[in-house]
C-alpha cells in the first residue's frame, strides 16, 4: 500500500493509492493517476507524504559510495575504514523540515561549493519504538567539494537550505528484506539528459534493520523520522548540479521524486525590513 499527501480544492489531504486512483481521507477520488510516477491531474499536486520531525542519513553503505568518497577526499583511509567497520556512519540531515522539501519543490546547491551532486536513497520511515513502518525515496543533496576538503566539513556539505527532499509516497510492506531498484535521471532546462544511472539496495553492505538498530542506540529518535540509507549512484567527477537542472529518482514501488535545482540562497526566507 502507498500513502500520499495532496493539495487540492479542499486544501491539504492525506490519502492512499488504490485501483489507479488516490482516495483521500475526506473521500475524494483523484483520477486519472499515473501509477508509475504518481503524477496527479490538475488542480491537485503531491506534497511530502508527511512532516518528518527528524531526518537522518547513513553514509558509505555501498561500495560505489566508498570508492567515490575515497577519490574525493584528501584523507584517504577514513571512508574505507568506516565501510569495513561494524559501526556505520550516521549523521542528522534535518529537523522539523527546515531544509527539506517534497515532490516538485526546488532543492538547493551551495554557492561556496563547486561540485554538487544528488544522492538517491531509500528512506526508512520509523514507527513506534524504532520499528520500520514504511519506505520512501530520499535525495541527500551533497556538496562533494566541501566534504572532500576535510571530512570534518561534513555538516556544511550536507546541511543547508533545500539540501533534502523525499516522497512522493510512503510504501508499506512487511517484507523488510526486499530489494529496491533505484533509477536516477538528471535533465537540463531543455530536457536533455545530463546524467542517468541505476542501482539496487541488494548492493548495500548493511541491512535496513542494522542501520536502524545503530541509529536508535541511546538516541531518542521520534516516531515519524526518516533514515536515508545511503547511495549507490554517484555521478562522474565531471558532473555537477546546476540551477535549471531537474532531478528525477524512480523506485517502482514508491513512485518518482522530481525536484528542480536552484541556488540554496533563493530558498532562505527574507527577513522583513523593520
Query: What pLDDT, in 10s, does the model give residues 142-193?
Result: 999 999 898 899 999 999 999 999 999 999 998 888 999 999 999 999 999 9
Average pLDDT over every residue of 14-18: 96
Range(s) within the chain of domains with CATH label 2.30.30:
2-47
Q: Residue 106 and residue 266: Cα distance in Å, rounded?
A: 10
Other C-beta atoms lying within 10 Å of the C-beta of residue 27: 9
Give pLDDT tens digits for 105-135: 999 999 999 999 999 999 999 999 999 999 9
Helix (H, G, I), strand (E, B) or coil at 244: coil
Could you tell me where the DSSP H helices lie in 170-260?
A: 208-215
**In angstroms, what CA-CA distances link 205 with 49, 61, 64, 94, 214?**
28, 6, 11, 24, 14
State the pTM of this model.
0.95
Residue 101 CA from chain centroid, whole number: 10
Q: Where in the chain is the domain with CATH 3.90.850.10?
A: 54-267
Strands 132-140 and 181-187: unpaired
Beta bridge partners of 24: 15
Q: Are 108 and 162 in contact (CB under 8 A)?
A: yes
Q: Which three cell numbers stand for residue 60?
A: 558509505
CATH of 2-47, one of 2.30.30, 2.60.40, 3.90.120, 3.40.50: 2.30.30
Would you say residue 65 has pLDDT above 90?
A: no
- Is the per-residue pLDDT at 66 higher than 70? no
- Average pLDDT, stretch 17-41? 93
Q: Does domain 54-267 bear CATH number 3.90.850.10?
A: yes
**Which pLDDT value is given to residue 83?**
87
Amino acid at each position: 500500500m502507498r500513502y500520499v499527501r495532496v493539495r487540492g480544492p479542499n486544501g491539504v489531504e492525506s490519502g492512499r493509492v488504490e485501483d489507479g486512483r488516490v482516495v483521500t481521507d475526506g473521500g475524494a477520488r483523484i483520477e486519472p493517476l499515473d501509477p508509475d510516477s504518481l503524477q496527479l491531474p490538475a488542480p491537485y499536486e503531491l506534497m511530502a507524504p508527511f512532516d518528518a520531525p527528524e531526518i537522518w542519513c547513513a553514509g558509505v553503505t555501498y561500495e560505489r559510495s566508498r570508492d567515490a568518497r575515497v577519490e574525493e577526499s584528501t584523507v584517504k583511509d577514513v571512508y574505507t575504514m568506516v565501510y569495513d567497520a561494524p559501526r556505520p556512519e550516521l549523521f542528522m540531515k534535518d529537523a522539523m523540515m527546515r531544509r527539506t522539501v517534497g515532490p516538485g519543490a526546488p532543492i538547493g546547491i551551495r554557492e561556496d561549493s563547486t561540485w554538487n551532486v544528488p544522492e538517491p536513497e531509500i528512506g526508512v520511515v520509523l514507527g513506534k519504538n524504532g520499528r520500520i513502518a514504511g519506505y520512501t525515496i530520499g535525495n541527500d543533496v551533497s556538496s562533494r567539494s566541501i566534504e572532500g576538503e576535510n571530512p570534518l566539513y561534513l555538516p556544511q556539505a550536507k546541511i543547508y537550505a533545500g539540501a533534502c527532499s523525499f516522497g512522493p509516497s510512503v510504501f508499506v510492506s512487511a517484507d523488510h528484506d526486499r530489494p529496491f531498484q533505484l533509477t536516477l535521471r538528471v535533465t537540463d532546462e531543455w530536457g536533455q539528459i545530463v546524467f542517468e544511472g541505476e542501482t539496487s539496495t541488494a548492493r548495500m553492505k548493511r541491512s535496513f534493520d542494522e542501520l536502524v538498530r545503530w541509529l536508535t542506540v541511546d538516541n531518542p529518535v521520534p516516531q515519524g523520522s526518516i533514515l536515508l540509507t545511503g547511495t549507490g549512484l554517484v555521478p562522474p567527477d565531471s558532473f555537477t548540479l546546476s540551477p535549471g537542472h531537474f532531478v528525477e529518482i524512480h523506485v517502482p514501488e514508491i513512485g518518482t521524486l522530481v525536484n528542480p535545482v536552484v541556488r540554496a540562497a533563493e530558498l532562505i526566507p527574507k527577513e522583513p525590513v523593520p
